[in-house]
Amino acid sequence: MSLELISKNKVHGGWHKRYRHESAVNNCTMTFAIYLPPGVDESQRAPVLYWLSGLTCNDENFMQKAAAFKSAAELGLIIVAADTSPRGEQVADDKEGAYDFGLGAGFYVNATQAPYDQHYQMYDYINEELPALINEHFPVSGKQSISGHSMGGHGALVLGLRNSDKFASISAFAPIASPTRCPWGEKALTGYLGNDKQTWREYDSSLLLAETNAEQCPPLLISQGLADDFLQQQLKPELLQASADEAGIALILEQHPGYDHSYFFISSFIDQHLRFHAKHLA
């Protein structure tokens, strides 16, 4: 798979680069960004943290707003920030142009409903195609972890729990903990997967966590702001805690008074999350 370099910027001794490529699974052109810490080359490889962003975002939001580069450089972590959905004129969008479905809102599922099944295969893209591309073109060590925010937190949890053999650790900021039980999730899962709610369960991290073997579960860190406007109706982190307790899993759920849903919150605690992943990737 070939890559086209869009831009590059030196930062904290390393390189932030954006690329586009043709995606076979999403049947369109996709874009991602990567941060390569200083000293990483073919003789000195590094582990990868995959970052999944939230509704309306793309790869640029995290890379420009999260203030992650300094710690990533010190810890020797490669960061890969994926897009949140397929893009292009041929890609189906919400008929009314809503922000919470369609372009920018792929929900990290494999769509089965027309016309979205032609392009929206974000689960396979993050789980298979993008890592294969990164492994082919960059000096990675073979170890990887996953993190994300909001819709991306949901994606990180689902991908991490369903592929526990691939990820050394999982973290999330303000994740959509149970998309089968919140308006954002119900809309997205209906549109992408149809009305059979049994098919929704494999994309609900709170349900997956309750059925996870505690010995096989990667270490989990969740950060949630208590001034988040979406906390009660959309996010529901208490469902994750209940599932973790049921399964005997040591979930770290940190709740922070005064913090909202924005990148001000993410940038305040991103260093903690990077250190968490670096510990388990070591």
In this prediction, residue 210 carries a pLDDT of 97
Question: Please, what are the averages of pLDDT over each run of 10 residues along the chain (282 residues)?
Answer: 95 98 98 97 93 98 98 98 97 94 98 98 98 97 98 98 98 98 98 97 98 96 98 98 97 98 98 98 96
Q: Which of 16, 149, 261, 277 is catalytic?
A: 261
Q: Which of 59, 83, 100, 228 is catalytic?
A: 228
Query: What domain range includes position 49?
Result: 4-281
In this prediction, residue 277 carries a pLDDT of 98
In this prediction, residue 177 carries a pLDDT of 98
20: its two tokens:
């586009």
Measured CA to CA, the distance from residue 128 to residue 124 in angstroms comes to 5
Q: Which of 71, 150, 205, 243 is catalytic?
A: 150
150 among known catalytic residues: yes
261 among known catalytic residues: yes
- Residue 20's φ and ψ, nearest 5 degrees, are -120, 155
For tokens 């309750």, the residue is 210
Number of domains in the chain: 1
CATH code (residue 18)? 3.40.50.1820
Rounded to 5, what percent of the chain is helix, strand, coil?
A: 40, 25, 35
177, 206 contact by CB (below 8 A): yes
Q: Is the pTM of this model over 0.85?
A: yes
